[in-house]
Amino acid sequence: MRSKPELLAPAGNIESFYAAVKNGADAVYLGLKKFSARATAENFTLGELATLIPFARKRSVKVYVALNNQIVSGELGELIETLDALASVNPDALIVQDAGIFQLARKRFPALRLHASTLAFAHNCSGVRVLQQMGASRVVLARELSLEEIEKIYESTKAELEIFIHGALCYSYSGLCLASSFRGGRSGLRGECVQPCRLKFHQGGKEGFFLSCGDLCALPLVSRLKRTKIAGLKIEGRMKPASWVAAVVKAYRLVLDAKSPEAEKKALVEAKELLSQNPSRRLSSGRLGNGGASEILSPSRSGSNGLWLATVKSVSQNRVLLDVRRGLEKGDRLRPESCSGKEEEAFTVSQLFDGSGGSIQSAQPGAPVYLVCPKPLKPGEKLFKLGTKSEPAAVIWKRIKDEVQPGARLKPAPLLRRQILEEFEKTTGSPSRKEENLIVKIDSVSDLVEALQSSASIVFLTATRNNLERIVKQRFSPYQMKKLGFCLPPIILEKDIEYFRAAAAWFVKKGFLLWEVNNWGHFDLLGKGAPLRLVAGARLNLRNCAAFEQVFEMGCESAVLSLEITKVELEELAGKKFSSRLAVTVYCRPPLFTSCLVPPIYMERPLLSPRKEVYYPTTKAGRTEIFADRPVSWFEQLPALRSFGYRRFVIDASENPEKRSELAQLLKGFSSLRTRGAYSLFNYDRRPF
């Protein structure tokens, strides 16, 4: 057993990998060219991974592979081959979020060690327990937890726990953000987030980066952290350059290795100096240090990370005149920020010129400086330094390959792929013979009578404290009790776990057996033994047959597909095993952002993005939820969905920023195949991958 937590470093390319190993990381986590939640990083091939693992092990450094994408149906075959290849390469662990990977790895590739990704949104002891039962030997906790909450969780569980200690922070809770996917089809759960929370928003006469978070820095807390039972301290940054990774790893290594309080104080001073020279957003200890919105958010400044080096004064053809604020060198990696605050594509400085046109290697503030930029820049744009030029990748690869033998030979596994995929095929009867079921979700007891009298076969009421305590006083007929269920909220804080456990047990004992689960921890809250009727909710983000098999083995009778599902996926899944047990959400108004942070804006008033997109912020149960200006409706698509064979549909009226009852209108729209007012198709007509 380790005497102190493991220090995990990110590697988006070979330069960062080498820098992490060289500067003292205990483990490096990296992604493959596919299935990584940092899809825009350079990442690695399986062949390269097979070479890196023995190189790292010679230095007692572990290699974890981030296979942490949400998996869509059409990728399942390639995923199976990837898992088979990874089993032969034998990394120290896979970091995963998708239920299908848990299922396949546990059943088909048991030698693969699994770590549950932060995208699995484990934020309480119940979530950790269930992910452990699913096969996770370690769980990466949500970044929204305080140290006190983390300590309570590891007192209640036996799984290894890992937390983030440095790097970028997201405005939304891990795994619950739909903003990037809703506005442009680029899902954060699939590694394609375009960071809409970093934009400059307008509200009335105010403008600012209201949702933009600074960076996490837990350096002052390391002395306390290394004396806990936490297994891993993780640095975020697979998009960062090698120089950044080297400095951050070295800084934390200094404090972790200090052997006395006096040595820790000295190491902390040196480590802070290292970080002060490293590009970053404004640093805070985040929620680990109980930081609030004023510490974490940076509404009055750019969301861009890095050191602000220069501002573009003028542009003439490809020559850019700069107003230099800090030292600038050839080889520096720069990211432009537009005047509206948008982060642009980074580039490397290859040529610098002085005022007379002579080539120079570096520049200091005060003198006229020109650079040649491979992309167009505009006057007023700011340039932020992300890192400096590192040793060439080819040199590093040669050094590694000269030291280690060629990695394991990786062969495709077409027979295994075909065998597993065939198990998910199923011949179904005629769609017209299946009975149709409608699920209606509401969040107010006042809508209950209307919902129970409707044609819905199931009515789910959001299980808030207020709703549960009001329901206790009401009487229901056996027919109503069979029809009425409770939808557990995705977020149940550690301090509320026992309340919801006791409440669920009371209602189950009284005969309320219908429950929708929207977080892995809900399975633990509901327990086992009673003849429960469980529905896997949309917030479990299920999009492939292996994931469905996982939740059905855990006791669910049906599953609601991910809200990010596309028409292409729906057509493909319709002919597969379990298709008759899948439900499609045909109306919803989900929050795009869900956060524990309250930004400095007026609630209930619209926010306007640079692209004139409208958002509506609200507060609910101490959290901020930000909605789109229109709901998602697939009422007009119902004939197509029925032709595919789907007979289970969901009308979710439980999340509505306008807080008005609209159930009758929605039921009418479902029957007439019409939606009143403006609506969005979300990802219906978009590409799945």
> How do residues 300-345 score in pLDDT, each as one tens digit?
765 556 788 899 999 987 789 999 998 888 888 888 988 776 778 8
Buried b (16+ CB within 10 A) or exposed e, 207-222: bbbbbbbbbbbbbebb
Q: Give the per-residue pLDDT at 561.
A: 98
Q: Are residues 355 and 500 in the same domain?
A: no
**Closest among 85, 241, 215, 76 to 65, alpha carbons compared:** 85
CB 193 within 8 A of CB 200: no
Helix 46-57 vs helix 393-403: crossing angle, to nearest 10: 60
**pLDDT given for residue 427 in this prediction:** 54
Give domain status of residue 605, yes or no: yes
Residue 431 has pLDDT above 60, yes or no: no
Q: Tell me whether residue 194 is in a domain.
A: yes
Specify whether 65 is located in the same domain as 142: yes
Q: Can you tell me the distance from the alpha carbon of 475 to that of 137, in angstroms, rounded to the nearest whole number?
A: 45
DSSP 8-state symbol, 491 = -
Give the range among 172-181, 380-389, 484-493 with minimum mean pLDDT.
Answer: 380-389
User: In this structure, are 514 and 550 located in the same domain?
Assistant: yes
Do residue 336 and residue 457 come from a single domain?
A: no
Assess whether pLDDT exceeds 90 at residue 201.
yes
User: What pLDDT sits at residue 82?
Assistant: 94
- Report the SS3 class of residue 533: strand
pLDDT higher than threshold 80 for residue 41: no
206/223 same-domain check: no
How far apart, in whole angstroms, are the C-alpha atoms of residue 226 and residue 253? 11
Q: Does 264 fall in a domain?
A: yes
Co-location of 158 and 105 in the same domain:
yes
- Residue 66 predicted with pLDDT over 90: yes
- Same-domain pairing of 218 and 272: yes
Percentage of the chain exceeding pLDDT 70: 96
Distance CA(325)–CA(352), nearest Å, equals 15
Q: How confident is the model at residue 2 (pLDDT cuts 50, 70, 90)?
A: low
Helices and strands in the chain, H and E counts: 22, 35
Per-residue pLDDT averaged across 559-585, rounded?
Answer: 95
Identify whether 206 is part of a domain: yes
- Going 22 to 24 to 27 to 31, the CA torsion angle's sign is negative
Query: Does residue 194 share a domain with residue 52?
Result: no
Of the given ranges (339-353, 417-431, 447-461), which has the lowest mean pLDDT? 417-431
The CATH number that applies at residue 491 is: 3.20.20.70
Per-residue pLDDT at 39 exceeds 80: no
Do 533 and 439 share a structural domain?
yes
Q: What CA–CA distance (Å, rounded) separates 270 from 255?
A: 9
How many structural domains compose the chain? 4
- What tokens appear for 415 in the block? 């027979």
Closest residue by Cα to residue 274 from 301, 253, 305: 253
> In this structure, what are the phi and psi dihedrals at residue 276, rounded to the nearest 5 degrees?
-65, -25
Cα separation, 78 vs 89, in Å, equals 16
Whether residue 207 is found in the same domain as residue 247: no
Backbone angles phi, psi at 273, to 5 degrees: -65, -40
Q: Which residues on adjacent β-strands are paired with residue 29?
A: 10, 64
Which one has a higher pLDDT value, 571 or 656?
571
Which residues lie below 8 Å from residue 579, measured CB to CB, with a gap of 6+? Answer: 426, 428, 573, 645, 646
Element (H, E) at 266: helix 261-276
- The model's confidence at residue 580, banded by pLDDT at 50, 70 and 90, is very high
Residue 609 belongs to domain spanning: 185-212+591-628
Average pLDDT, the chain: 92
Would you give the DSSP letter of residue 78? H
DSSP 290: T
d(CA 201, CA 293): 17
Task: Quickly count: other Cβ atoms within 10 Å of residue 335's Cβ.
Answer: 18
CATH assignment of the domain containing 336: 2.40.30.10
Rounded to 10 degrees, the C-alpha dihedral 150/154/157/162 comes to 70
CB 383 within 8 A of CB 310: yes
Neighbours of 501 (CB within 10 A): 16
Domain assignment present for 376: yes
With 60 as the cut, is the pLDDT of residue 623 above it? yes
Say whether both 273 and 164 belong to one domain.
Answer: yes
pLDDT at residue 145, as a whole number: 96
Same domain for 463 and 340, yes or no, is: no
Q: Average the pLDDT over 408-430 and give the result.
A: 75
pLDDT at 38: 79
Is 443 part of any domain? yes
Residues 6+ apart with CB under 8 A from 400: 14, 18, 51, 52, 55
Kindly state whether residue 277 falls inside one of the protein's structural domains.
yes
User: Does 303 or 414 have the greater pLDDT score?
Assistant: 414
- What is the token pair recorded at 162? 């890992």
Categorize the per-residue pLDDT at 661 as very low, low, confident or very high, splitting at 50, 70 and 90: low
Q: Is residue 411 part of a domain?
A: no
